[in-house]
């Protein structure tokens, strides 16, 4: 097996390497290609990955390359984890939104829109490489906003693709920890979109434990402010909401909280990354440093490696992933990408049927999906008016005038090459 990681200069990569080392035999992994456009970061992160692999008896070869085609050619899996514009763009976009008194968050709201507009063309370029040099490969996408990126790839990329997020895996692990069982014994009835999902029922070793587990507050990922919901609201909702739903359910409180912070999350992460990269340079270091847990992406390696394993083994096991809806959620278009439980085998991931959505979640899912659909269209056509409509459609946009100002500022800052047709 050959795996290519695009965006391997990410400080998260050692976590992925750790998971691949653990499962290398089951996977039959022979070559891990690490690609990035930033040679310095690739060398630092790649150097640590090489030492990690060597320390475990070199179960596979690690190769660093600045040439994307070399990384992709003949790969069985291509993992994409890129950040177009880096943390600087994330910080700038967040500040623009906060100045307009709109929630600024990397995936949720206009910052996610800006990231999608910058990133989708690059992902579609990567798809062109995969079509030419590794047509059999699966693209496993971690790049945010993961749902929209996966939708763009499945609609326009012409490759086999699955979108992955660490949150469902993290939720399973948290429930397992709470109940003192292994994550394999947990079954979640999980529905929604990436970063907009709910756990409707929780089964522990086949037994429905939803009522007692709902009384507990879910552990928040490191990157989300831990504001709690009112217990009566939680009871009325009757489901376990993804932490990102705080931005919708507590919009005022979250905005006030974000505005109070001296630094945006992007600025915090930038500092954290500088420290991590310094540690990674140490030639004595040959394992993932503990500090990496301060990033929001905990469990991302387990999610990726177990998904790759189950495709490779044609296992038919269930994973919560981002896939083409194909009628699983009857309230959404068939070509919309949704985050639901799917059966994974050598063909990819097939969503299990969900049917109609409960009234308390139906509207928000449809609303955000409409925004996502328009954003994907705008990213592909570069049509200014479609882009404006997308931003104006997002539920966190409180005024179309703000949407236009934000769009024009994004356009000026990043040269989004929008055309007024």
In the complex, minimum distance from the CB of residue 269 to ligand G6P, in angstroms, rounded to a whole number: 5
Q: Is 33 a catalytic residue?
A: no
| Residue 3 is a binding residue for ligand G6P (CB under 6 A) | no
**By C-beta, is 27 or 303 nearer to ligand G6P?**
303
Stretch that binds ligand G6P, among 31-39, 293-301, 307-315, 351-359 (CB under 6 A): 293-301
Task: Name the packing angle between helices 86-99 and 110-133 (round to 10°).
Answer: 150
Restricting to residues 126-145, name those near ligand G6P by CB under 6 A: 144
Q: What is the closest distance, in whole angstroms, from the C-beta atom of residue 112 to ligand G6P in the complex? A: 10
Q: Which of 52, 152, 153, 165 binds ligand G6P (CB under 6 A)?
A: 165
Could you tell me how many residues of this chain bind ligand G6P (CB under 6 A)?
11
Helical spans, DSSP H, in 12-104: 13-27, 39-55, 68-72, 86-99
CB-nearer residue toward ligand G6P: 312 or 369: 369
SS (H, E, C) 354-373: CECCCHHHHHHHHHHHHHHH
Nearer to ligand G6P, 275 or 401 (CB): 275
Select from 140, 297, 329, 416 the one that contacts ligand G6P (CB under 6 A).
297
Q: Which of 133, 244, 247, 300 is catalytic?
A: 244
Q: Locate tokens 């996977």: which residue?
A: 27
User: What number of CA atoms fall less than 13 Å from residue 371's CA on the CB side?
Assistant: 25
Tokens, residue 152 = 């763009």
Cβ(303)–Cβ(172) under 8 Å?
Answer: no
For residue 41, the minimal CB distance to ligand G6P (Å) is: 15
Q: Which of residues 200-229 bind ligand G6P (CB under 6 A)?
A: 221, 223
Token pair recorded at residue 364: 């928000």
Q: Which tokens hold the place of 125? A: 């370029």
Q: Would strands 196-204 and 317-324 be described as parallel, antiparallel, or unpaired? A: unpaired
Stretch that binds ligand G6P, among 61-69, 163-171, 334-342, 385-393 (CB under 6 A): 163-171
For position 295 contacting ligand G6P by CB under 6 A, the verdict is yes
| CA nearest to 306, candidates 5, 27, 14, 3 | 27
Residue position matching structure tokens 């456009």: 37
Element (H, E) at 161: strand 160-163
Binding segment toward ligand G6P, per CB under 6 A, in 160-168, 231-239, 359-367, 375-383:
160-168
Examine residue 296 and tell whether it contacts ligand G6P (CB under 6 A).
yes
**According to the binding rule CB under 6 A, does residue 94 interact with ligand G6P?**
no
Choosing from 94, 166, 173, 325, the residue that interacts with ligand G6P (CB under 6 A) is: 166
Give the DSSP H or E segment for 318. strand 317-324
Span from 95-103, 248-256, 295-303, 388-396 in contact with ligand G6P (CB under 6 A): 295-303
Q: Are 322 and 338 contacting, i.e. CB atoms less than 8 angstroms apart? A: yes
E strand or H helix at 119: helix 110-133
**Cα distance between residue 106 and residue 114, in whole Å:** 9
Q: CB nearer to ligand G6P: give 62 or 218.
A: 218
Taking the mean position of all CA atoms in its chain, how far away is CA 111? Answer: 14
Interacting residues with ligand G6P between 260 and 289 (CB under 6 A): 265, 269
Q: Is the peptide bond before 369 cis (omega within 30 degrees of 0)?
A: no
One of 167, 323, 329, 361 touching ligand G6P (CB under 6 A) = 167
Q: Rule CB under 6 A: which residues touch ligand G6P?
A: 144, 165-167, 221, 223, 265, 269, 295-297
**Mind telling me the catalytic residues?**
244
């Amino acid at each position: 097996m050959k795996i290519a990681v695009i965006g391997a200069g990410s400080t998260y990569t050692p976590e992925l390497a750790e998971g691949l080392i653990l499962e290398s035999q089951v996977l039959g992994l022979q070559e891990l290609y690490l690609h990035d456009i930033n040679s310095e970061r690739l060398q630092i992160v790649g150097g640590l990955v090489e030492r990690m692999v060597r320390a475990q008896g070199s179960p596979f070869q690690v190769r660093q390359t600045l040439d994307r085609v070399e990384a992709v050619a003949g790969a069985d899996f291509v993992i994409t984890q890129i950040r177009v514009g880096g943390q600087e763009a994330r910080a700038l976009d967040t500040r623009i939104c906060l100045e307009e008194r709109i929630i600024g968050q990397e995936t949720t709201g206009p910052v996610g829109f800006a990231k999608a507009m910058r990133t989708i063309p690059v992902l579609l370029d990567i798809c062109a490489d995969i079509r030419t040099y590794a047509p059999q490969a699966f693209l496993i996408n971690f790049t945010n906003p993961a749902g929209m990126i996966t939708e763009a790839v499945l609609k326009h990329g012409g490759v086999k693709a699955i979108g992955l997020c660490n949150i469902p895996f993290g939720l399973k692990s948290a429930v397992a920890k709470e109940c003192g069982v292994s994550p394999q014994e947990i079954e979640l009835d999980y529905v929604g979109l990436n970063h907009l999902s709910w756990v409707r029922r929780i089964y522990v070793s086949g037994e429905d434990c939803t009522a007692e587990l709902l009384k507990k507050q879910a552990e928040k990922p490191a990157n989300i402010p831990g504001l709690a919901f009112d217990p009566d609201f939680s009871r009325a909702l009757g489901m376990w909401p993804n932490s990102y739903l705080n931005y919708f359910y507590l919009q005022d409180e979250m905005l006030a909280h974000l505005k109070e912070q001296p630094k945006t999350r992007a600025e915090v992460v930038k500092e954290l990354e500088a420290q991590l990269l310094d540690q990674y340079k140490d030639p004595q270091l040959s394992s993932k440093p503990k500090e990496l847990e301060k990033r929001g992406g905990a469990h991302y390696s387990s999610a990726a490696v177990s998904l790759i394993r189950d495709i490779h083994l044609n296992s038919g096991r269930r994973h919560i992933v981002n896939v083409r809806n194909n009628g699983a959620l009857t309230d959404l278009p068939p070509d919309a990408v949704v985050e639901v439980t799917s059966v994974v085998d050598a063909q990819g991931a097939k969503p299990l049927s969900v049917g109609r959505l409960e009234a308390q979640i139906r509207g928000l899912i449809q609303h955000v999906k409409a925004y996502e659909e328009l954003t994907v269209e705008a990213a592909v056509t570069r049509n200014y008016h479609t882009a404006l409509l997308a931003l104006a459609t997002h539920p966190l946009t409180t005024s179309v005038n703000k949407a236009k100002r934000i769009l024009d500022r994004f356009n000026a800052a990043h040269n989004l090459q929008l055309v007024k047709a």
